[in-house]
Amino acid sequence: MEKIQTLIIGSGPAGYTAAIYCGRSGLKTVLYSGLQPGGQLTTTSTVENFPGYPQGVDGNQMMMDLKEQAGRFGAELRDGSITKADLSSRPFHFTDDNGREIESDTVIIATGASAKYLGLPDEQKYSGQGVSACATCDGFFYRKRTVAVVGGGDTACEEAMYLASLAKKVYMIVRKPYLRAAEILRKRVEEKENIEILYNTNTLGLFGENGVEGAHLVRFKGEPNEEKFDIAIDGFFLAIGHKPNTELFKDSGLEMDAQGFIKTKGNSQATNIEGVFAAGDVCDPVYRQGIVAAGSGAKAAIEADRFLK
């Protein structure tokens, strides 16, 4: 049985920043990178809104920089995943995907969240070439161009409004005959002159030679008046929600909200279980930005260190 002071689960900006701080505090720290080493930012070709990179930086490169920095301060960085977590008593007990057992006095959960996709093969084909799940991250690349947003809830309306301030035209592709969003958001979107809402519409696929150039759509799918048509677009934004990666903790006693995001206390990264901290998108349904995740990783590490001392 391996005994450590802090286990960090996840390796995006939150996990790696937590590892930097834990390492510098002299804590015996192990980080497991999980199924997507580097997290969601590795699917973004260029990150332009993270301070310190005036020319922008490739998402993979940025995560490699953070990983190297975490390693430099003594955190042990491991590939692979934690497959079992017992948070019922301290020290907490974990098992990794090689069957190795670990006891840790504290744990920082930084497993992130995954954007929900429609499940079209074209979403993978054009990933990083016009398909995005984050308007705030990638909207800048579509200044004066035409984009589509999929979804009809609050997030979709917020993303459409944000994109409308940059793009020439924004289509909203909405499955239902109405928007599910709050009244105030609905009104804003409906009144915005460069947003066109396509109700009762589903996406069949995307097309384009060098990245996304258009979308194949269908209106009134399966109805007698079904109608297929194409729109010309440069970018295709998914806004149908994010799913926090909390499967591992579903019977752990950790408090989560209705969507499965881990609840933290007040302005802290502490959870309802003493010694368990959460950081990054796994506990953030609102901002979902690399810089916010990094900041919460620092907070979680400082709190874990204070808890142990």
Catalytic residue numbers read 134, 137-138
Length of the chain: 309
At how many degrees (to 10) do helices 59-72 and 13-24 cross?
20
Q: Are 218 and 227 in contact (CB under 8 A)?
A: yes
Exposure on the CB side of residue 213, measured as CA atoms within 13 A: 4
Is residue 301 classed exposed, middle or buried when 0-12, 13-18 and 19+ CB atoms within 10 A define those classes? buried
The helix/strand/coil state of 102 is strand
Both structure tokens of 288: 């979902």
Q: Which residue has the tokens 């260029």?
A: 46
Whether cis (ω within 30° of 0) applies to the bond prior to 54 is: no
For 119, residues 6+ apart whose C-beta sits below 8 A from its C-beta are none
Q: Are 278 and 257 in contact (CB under 8 A)?
A: no
